[in-house]
Amino acid sequence: MGYQLDFGALVQYLGLFLEGAAVTLGLTALASVAGIALGIAGAAAARSKNDWVRRLITGYVELIRNTPFIVQMFFIFFGLPSLGLRLSALMAAALAMIINLAAYAIEIIRAGLDAVPPGQAEAGRAMGLHGLGVFGLIVLPQALATVYPALVGQITITMLESAVVSQIAVVDLTHVADLIQSRNFRSFETYLVVTVIYLILALLLRRLLALAGRSLFAGRTP
């Protein structure tokens, strides 16, 4: 007798699935807001005239982009306590996601800033704006509008990669799947359903952010 697939057995766990998805989305939202804010600051600082600031930022970006997310998270969660910094699993996961996304955001936004023609900043200064005003009101909005699709892509990747936080016992969508399949022994159905939930979340997230971008940057893209 072959194995009978039974998805009906999963219906009773609907609440758990929703809770897990909420944690995954919450972490992603936090990482996106904080990561992109740091990304803007880092990309701006990367244009500094100070050699050391530039080197520091390049070093940070390269270190994060060339090591796996899971190792970064393990380092923060297991390694930092020996320096006296003990974080809860949720905080360690959030911090790892922010640090990771920030590095990619710096790289993306830096490219966007480079793509804004210098004439824009010159025109801003000619209109009497100060350095910060030129950056915040003229250069940055155009840069963000150009690289917005790349940022959306990176946010989606962050959401999908966050499945790994289940490994330090953060109760995200993946961890919920682990719990459920250890109760009902229906690992194939459980993981399949959760994979489909991730797929739907990724597609929705991309669609929503694209819509948000269209109203946010209306008329700003060249």
Partner 1 sequence: MNDFTLWDIARNLLLAGRWTLLLSAIAFAGGGILALVLLVLRFGFGKWVQRTIALYVELFQSTPLLMQLFLVYFGLPRLGIDVSAWLAAAVCLTFYSSAFLTDIWRGAVESIPRGQWDGSSSLGLHYLAQLRLVILPQAMRIAIPPTVGFLVQLVKSTALASIVGYHELTRTAQIVTNATFQPFLVYGMVALIYFAICYPLTDLSRRLERRLATNAR
CB of 75 to partner 1, least distance (A): 4
CA distance 129 to 99: 33
Tell me if 202 sits within 8 A of 156, measured CB to CB. Answer: yes
CB of 201 to partner 1, least distance (A): 9
CA distance 139 to 123: 11
Task: Give residue 205's Cα distance to chain centre.
Answer: 12
What's 53-84 look like in SS3?
HHHHHHHHHHHHHCCCHHHHHHHHHHHHHHHC
Radius of gyration for the chain, computed over Cα atoms and rounded to the nearest angstrom:
21
Of 71 and 123, the one with the shorter C-beta distance to partner 1 is: 71
Binding site for partner 1 (CB under 8 A): 2-3, 62-63, 65-72, 74-75, 78-83, 156, 160-161, 163-164, 166-167, 174, 177, 181, 185-188, 191-192, 194-195, 198-199, 202-203
CB of 87 to partner 1, least distance (A): 13
CA distance 125 to 120: 9
Which residue from 136, 140, 145 is spatially nearest to 215, judged by alpha carbons? Answer: 145
Of 188 and 212, the one with the shorter C-beta distance to partner 1 is: 188
CB of 126 to partner 1, least distance (A): 32
CB of 23 to partner 1, least distance (A): 14
Tell me if 154 sits within 8 A of 101, measured CB to CB. Answer: yes
Of 185 and 210, the one with the shorter C-beta distance to partner 1 is: 185
Of 92 and 138, the one with the shorter C-beta distance to partner 1 is: 92
Of 17 and 198, the one with the shorter C-beta distance to partner 1 is: 198
